[in-house]
Structure 1
Amino acid sequence: MAVALAPVTAQAQNFRFSNFVVEGNQRIQSDTILAYAGIEPGTAVSAAQVNDALQRLQTTGLFEEVEILPRGNTLVIQVREYPAINRIAIEGNRRLDDEDLLAQIESAPRRVYSPAVAEADAAIIADAYRQSGRLTATVNPVIIRREDNRVDLVFEVSEGRVVETERIAFVGNREYSDRRLRQVLESTQAGIFRAIIRSDTFIDDRIALDRELLTNFYLDRGYVDFEILSVTPELSRDRGAYFVTFNIREGQSFDIGRVSVVSEIPEADANEYRSVIRTREGATYSPRIIDNAISRMENLATQQGLRFVRIEPRITRNPASLTLDVEYVISRGERVFVERIDIEGNATTLDRVIRRQFDTVEGDPFDPRAIRQAAERIRATGFFSDVQVEGRQGSSPQQVVVDVDVEEQPTGSLGFTANYSTDSGPGLAVNFAESNFLGRGQRLAFGFNTVADSQSVNFSFIEPNFMARDVGLGLSAGYTVTDDDDLTYDTERVSLGTSVSFPVSEMGRLRLSYDLEWDDISINDPTETSDIIQADDGDRLASIIGLSYTYDSRDVGLNPNAGVLLRVGAEYAGLGGDAEFLRATALAIAETSVMREEVNLRASFETGALFSLDGDSRLTDRFFLSSRQMRGYESRSIGPYDTATGEALGGNYMAVARFEAGFPIGLPDEYGITGGVFYDIGTVWGLDNTNGGNSTVGARSVDDDLYWRQAVGVSLFWDSILGPLRFNFSHAFGEQNTDETQAFDFSVEARF
């Protein structure tokens, strides 16, 4: 016997609602709630569709509870709205201000409270603490119920303690010591003042910057195969410190071998382009050398009217000799133009301040390398904490839009400086500076400085892009008064000046200036004052024009371990005023690093000459040497002097040479203490009037002969919590009878 059972079809329950009732809503309109539900009157809906309506209402984030009740042809929607935020408070925060934290969160008074948003805000606050090095900080959002369906939102903060970078170590470095590599990084490791100094706080975002800085350091020194295998930050067991280890592979340092140029364009003569390359065979390879050579060849192509020229360096490795042959190939590039440059993120800085960093304008051929260089120049202004410059396709494949996205940072500073030196004693200075005045890229500075025997006020303004050119226009004013008990005279000086500067070469700049100076010399006691100084008693107005040239390769030169500063100038007074003289000065400084860059060498030479064109030179125009120019001697103590009164008179000629070396002394580098040795030799000599004059005590003679003074010594440098300190222990020799020597001097400057 067989039995067959037919399948039975289950009928899904369907609803058809003609009436809708909304209950529990206070601020939100019923029509709005029905719109969120999405159920049309009279339309057949299934139980699943009713459940979907429930889900839509819950995901709006407006309701704590939602319930949907079908009652025949009536659909009842019962809701309980989230309360409105009455106020927001942050409790337990001492390190970070309420204003700074509240500006970052989304929750705000009079908005609807949302648990999801509150949790996200708590995460934002916790992340702000992590950025300040407090990785163990926790934030808990709590609500306090108030009447009228309102709540107070409180973020309870447990700040935890700062997590320091206890140690930064390197694995795989053979050529450079850990100490030298740590100097390259932005991160620092904890020192003896860890309770005060926060620069050693571990911040995870710094690791990416450290990787870039370390890579650039090695590439600039020819290590083309350098690689950072890993960076491992390890948290200690008590979660109070990090140990960061950089695992690197240095490779070999390569020099530049044969340099050649090949042209695939008939109009471009390879020999002519080779002549503008200043790359020296045998020099240490660096990407900056290649970029510099390409820039020179591209500039030549522009001068010749050639467009869409591409210069590609082709590198051939010679492993046996550890050299890299560089062949520059000149070819036609793609015909791609810059359609426009879009700038975003600059709320204060004017667009033109950013645009002037581009050598490229709309309609020019697109050069990716020129765009990268413009991005570096924008970063170098110091106006922005982040700069992103990227190209994207424009309205056609032959058009490129350059997007510039910047994030501004504060550019003004107000500083109060306390200082002390053995020359001038304690002092106080107040300085205000703004490097992006009114968002125009202009520099404005004002300062007041006072020490035991002098006070000064100064003001300066610089427009770096005068008339839309790389021309700096400067204005300055100053007032100085001296009242030194050790001198028999006081001085007062007022100056107004203007200048124009412009580049004349890749690293050279020319400056033209005009200054109007009024000064007054007041004799305190004629019976004790040299006749030479008495002859200058009274005021004098000088109208001075100046010309100076500066060459500086210390920061932009191709050799990262060496640099030169050369400055020569001449001033002429006589276009009006009471003075007529010619004054020339020169300064040369050379710096380099040796012994795997552990030892820094520095040599400087300074000289000056004053020629009076209307008789005797004036005291305030002559040269004096300070203790910083000539160590081992007190300021203004060496040079021509009155043999009767012993007063220093200054001289018409000055020359000094300083040689010093700085090196580690075995202490951990996080202490900031290093040592040095120095040797100085210099003198001041020559006067127009050496016979004195008539006074109440008779004629006096002057010794203005040339005597070379010398000094040797050792130094201690300490980058302390109070500021940079320098201690010099000197031994002077070759001094004359009236010279005042000092075996020890130090200076400290604290900024707060």
Structure 2
Amino acid sequence: MTRKLGRSAVALVTALAIATPAGLAPMTAAAQAVTGIRVEGNSRVETGTITSFMNLPAGQPASPGDINDALQRLQNSGLFETVEIIPQGGTLVVRVREYPTINQITFEGNRRLRDARLSEIVQSQPRRIYQPSQAIQDAQTIAETYASEGRLAARVDPRIIRRSENRVDLVFEIREGNVTEIERVSFTGNRAFSDRRLRNVLQTKQAGLLRTFIRRDTFAPERIPLDERLLTEFYRSRGYADMRVQAVAPEIARERDAFFITFNIQEGPRYRFGQVNTISEVPGVDAAPFAAQNRVRRGEVYNPNAVDNTIRRMETIALQQGLNFLNIEPRITRNPSNQTLDLTFALTRGERVFVERIDIEGNTTTLDEVIRRQFGTVEGDPFNPREIRNSAERIRALGYFADAQVETRQGSGPDQVIVGVNVEEQPTGSLTLGASYGVNSGVGLNVGLSEQNFLGRGQSLGVNISTASGDRTAAINFAEPFFLGRNLRLGFGLNYNETEGLNADYDTRSLGFRPSLEFPVSQNGRLELRYRISEEVLSNVNEESSLILREEEGTRVTSAFGYSYNWDSRRTGLDPQTAYRLRFSQDIAGLGGDTKSVTTTVLAGVESNAWRDEVTLRGEFEAGAINAYGDYSPWILDRFRSGGRVRGFEPNGFGPRDLDSDNEDALGGKFFWAARAEAQFPIGLPEEYGIQGGLFADVGSLWGLDRTSYTDPVSGADVTIDDSMYVRAAVGASIFWTTPIGPLRFNFSRPIRKEDYDLEQNFDLTIQTRF
């Protein structure tokens, strides 16, 4: 910066020089009384203001040092561009040149940051006094802003253009430079996991193929502590209790266009749990009920989440028994010889400390009650540090705040603490424009408006409209996550769907309303109760279609009560390498409306990491059945169809089919089952490209109709439909590509077991994105 302002600096130094030694010669021998001060060149600054800065009383002796001090005070006032003090007898002539007024501020050379944004961050303003020091500071601020955008090579030069009437135009000449990307993230000391696997853990990412669009490939120092924590949690959740990130070394290339980051890791041994005991050090407290809550098993790989889960369960027992101020202290003894950890849960007496109050600050939109209900503790309760930490995590998980800090401080007495919550609001609403693509549905567009913190009450509201080839959908959804002040999620949904010949020779239209209530029933399980009323229309059935479809054409109203039980091990994260989920659902229709049936579906899935966590294995099984009662027969819009259940087949590609009709219509079935297995793995490309490969195998069947024969009204021939449980199977390969415009998946499949009339689909591409 000094080099670029060189000419201005020289001019300033020259102008600020004190009068020549010859001019000061009469006063060098001794101090001389100042009989008067004459100020020249000032127009905005009053003469009295200038003399007050000089602080040289008239009639008092003034030495050359006093005059020099007066000159320095005028210079340091920041009001003048140049200052001269010239002694003329007993009179001091003060010649000043005031700083010019800024006429306008312009930015040149900026393409990445708009003028409006730069104007907001500079302190210099039009119609104010120009200050060189402030202009330099503004240039540094602009350069720092570019650095935060990843452009560390950016240079900013402030220039001035003189105008009439002591005005200047302030110009910031900007050379943006290229993005300073993270060229390489590497690790030393890692033996259990490859660099590729560890890079997937970090928030920091290497520059990739689409580096123009990816923002995470720029270096951000504030992400380093988070990356260290993520690495530590990753290792410790897999048994490496002694793992440490010893150092992180970010280095910048000489050209300032690339960063190289190295994480120095000390892994340590992998531990398993050894002896696990529960003891009580509190008189009168039996350890047996607490030991029954232990979920840590000997021989299992060490996982701190399993320890925390057991502590939470034990704390619940303490609350149920009214044992306040009881601490559950995990004591770990390392056995390096056999790489085990002996664990003892010790019940100890804690200090008698109470929560005096909970103070909440920073929430300008969100209501206090939305934050308070994340606490399991209220004013007056015993202080539980673990519960406060968990509450802080729940507040951050809401997604309403850019930052949320929960701290404790001393209260009004030694047995009182005050819990302080300081949050920083962030936008919670979004307007979404999206695009989707499917081989069958073609290109589609969708528009969505959502608000996750509606009116600051923590409620969610969403409106979505989407359209694709032959398919139009609109939906409005609302949810109150804390209905009646409890952990009850109340939801309402209104949806409309219309199809025109979408993979079938008929049109459909449906309009439905669906209220629901969801609540936890266990640590990992939640139960949803719901009601649905809908009107569904089947129309424009092709004349060459099956007689069954033509006779089903019309309108039906469905009134159904239903429930779903969802169990997901990821809610507690007990096993970081394996996740399980289970869903059981039933909808009972018949309380009003035309439909009288019970629809049951079940889904069980597992996902696990293998081969040093570089390969992801997934398995899934689902099945469903429709059981009608009375004289009701399920119609095409009730019955299950094959779409997406077994890859390698078109939607409506297999299942019961009327082969004697000209259209050979797929009729759907009352029963289905499907099993799917796949593996996702790296294929040797740099991980920053976001491309992985996969293999999959699917098997399943769709069958069952109430009506399997009819007499053709034209030919009089008897038609029989085979609705047997024929098994279909397919294998294939996938390419997964994580792109800035959304996740893409390419499926290449080949059926290996099928019927002659089944419709194959050997390629499928799906993409959905928001922008």
TM-score by length of 2: 0.88
After superposition, the C-alpha distances for 1:526-552 in whole angstroms (9 at most, x for unaligned) are: 3x1222212321111111221111111
Separation in 2, partners of 1:704, 1:163: 63
Q: Secondary structure at the match of 1:692?
A: strand
- The question of 1:325 aligning with 2:342 is answered yes
Aligned to 1:648: 666
- Equivalent in 301, 305, 311 of residue 288 of structure 1: 305
Separation in 1, partners of 2:463, 2:259: 42
Aligned to 1:370: 387
- State whether residues 643 and 703 of structure 1, in contact with CA within 8 Å, keep that contact through their aligned partners in structure 2: no
The farther-off stretch of 214-223 and 463-472 is 463-472
After superposition, the C-alpha distances for 1:54-81 in whole angstroms (9 at most, x for unaligned) are: 6666555444456779999999887655
Cα distance change, pair 559–105 in 1 and its aligned pair in 2 (3 A):
farther
Aligned to 1:620: 637
TM-score by length of 1: 0.90
- The question of 1:532 aligning with 2:551 is answered no
After superposition, the C-alpha distances for 1:275-318 in whole angstroms (9 at most, x for unaligned) are: 12222222222222222222222222222222222222211111
The farther-off stretch of 739-748 and 155-164 is 739-748
Separation in 2, partners of 1:613, 1:25: 100
Cα distance change, pair 218–522 in 1 and its aligned pair in 2 (3 A):
same
Aligned to 1:631: 647
- The question of 1:458 aligning with 2:475 is answered yes
Separation in 1, partners of 2:510, 2:221: 52
Q: Secondary structure at the match of 2:675?
A: strand
After superposition, the C-alpha distances for 1:78-134 in whole angstroms (9 at most, x for unaligned) are: 765544444433222111223333333333344444333332222222111111111
- The question of 1:683 aligning with 2:701 is answered yes
- State whether residues 130 and 203 of structure 1, in contact with CA within 8 Å, keep that contact through their aligned partners in structure 2: no
- The question of 1:445 aligning with 2:481 is answered no
Separation in 2, partners of 1:70, 1:161: 55
- The question of 1:106 aligning with 2:123 is answered yes
- The question of 1:582 aligning with 2:598 is answered yes
Alignment of 1:87-98 (within 5 A): 87-98=104-115
- State whether residues 532 and 693 of structure 1, in contact with CA within 8 Å, keep that contact through their aligned partners in structure 2: no
Q: Secondary structure at the match of 1:285?
A: coil
Separation in 2, partners of 1:15, 1:393: 64
Cα distance change, pair 437–26 in 1 and its aligned pair in 2 (3 A):
farther
Deviation at 1:634, TM superposition (A): 0.9
- Equivalent in 568, 582, 596 of residue 566 of structure 1: 582
Letter in 1 for 2:666: A
- Equivalent in 601, 604, 614 of residue 617 of structure 2: 601
Separation in 2, partners of 1:682, 1:274: 45
Separation in 1, partners of 2:522, 2:46: 72
Aligned to 2:316: 299
Aligned to 2:177: 160
Separation in 1, partners of 2:455, 2:698: 45
Deviation at 1:512, TM superposition (A): 1.2
Deviation at 1:519, TM superposition (A): 0.9
Aligned to 1:659: 677
Cα distance change, pair 638–88 in 1 and its aligned pair in 2 (3 A):
same
- Equivalent in 498, 501, 516 of residue 484 of structure 1: 501
Letter in 2 for 1:601: L
Letter in 2 for 1:656: A
After superposition, the C-alpha distances for 1:668-724 in whole angstroms (9 at most, x for unaligned) are: 222222221111111111122223367455553322211111112222222245532
Separation in 1, partners of 2:458, 2:93: 64
Separation in 2, partners of 1:77, 1:286: 78
Cα distance change, pair 66–359 in 1 and its aligned pair in 2 (3 A):
farther
- State whether residues 448 and 458 of structure 1, in contact with CA within 8 Å, keep that contact through their aligned partners in structure 2: yes
Cα distance change, pair 210–34 in 1 and its aligned pair in 2 (3 A):
farther
- The question of 1:432 aligning with 2:469 is answered no
Deviation at 1:501, TM superposition (A): 1.0
Separation in 2, partners of 1:539, 1:418: 32
Letter in 2 for 1:417: G
- State whether residues 524 and 571 of structure 2, in contact with CA within 8 Å, keep that contact through their aligned partners in structure 1: no
- The question of 1:186 aligning with 2:203 is answered yes
- State whether residues 326 and 350 of structure 2, in contact with CA within 8 Å, keep that contact through their aligned partners in structure 1: yes
Aligned to 2:21: none
Letter in 1 for 2:588: Y
Q: Secondary structure at the match of 1:620?
A: coil
Cα distance change, pair 200–691 in 1 and its aligned pair in 2 (3 A):
same
Letter in 2 for 1:532: I
Separation in 2, partners of 1:395, 1:151: 59
- Equivalent in 723, 731, 744 of residue 725 of structure 1: 744
Deviation at 1:236, TM superposition (A): 2.7
- State whether residues 440 and 503 of structure 2, in contact with CA within 8 Å, keep that contact through their aligned partners in structure 1: no
Identify unmatched segments of 5+ residues in structure 2: 1-28
- The question of 1:673 aligning with 2:703 is answered no
- The question of 1:132 aligning with 2:172 is answered no
- The question of 1:206 aligning with 2:223 is answered yes
Cα distance change, pair 597–74 in 1 and its aligned pair in 2 (3 A):
same
Separation in 1, partners of 2:223, 2:309: 29
The farther-off stretch of 645-654 and 389-398 is 389-398
Aligned to 2:255: 238
Aligned to 1:523: 540
Cα distance change, pair 60–550 in 1 and its aligned pair in 2 (3 A):
farther
Deviation at 1:358, TM superposition (A): 2.2
Cα RMSD for the two superposed structures:
3.1
Deviation at 1:189, TM superposition (A): 1.5
After superposition, the C-alpha distances for 1:479-511 in whole angstroms (9 at most, x for unaligned) are: 111111752311011111211111111121111
Cα distance change, pair 120–554 in 1 and its aligned pair in 2 (3 A):
same
Q: Secondary structure at the match of 2:256?
A: coil
Separation in 2, partners of 1:161, 1:187: 19
Identify unmatched segments of 5+ residues in structure 1: 1-11
Q: Percent identity?
A: 50
Separation in 2, partners of 1:495, 1:167: 52
Q: Secondary structure at the match of 2:504?
A: coil
- State whether residues 83 and 151 of structure 1, in contact with CA within 8 Å, keep that contact through their aligned partners in structure 2: yes
Letter in 1 for 2:434: T
Cα distance change, pair 485–149 in 1 and its aligned pair in 2 (3 A):
same
- Equivalent in 696, 705, 716 of residue 735 of structure 2: 716
Separation in 1, partners of 2:332, 2:448: 51
Cα distance change, pair 652–104 in 1 and its aligned pair in 2 (3 A):
same
Deviation at 1:41, TM superposition (A): 10
Aligned to 1:556: 572
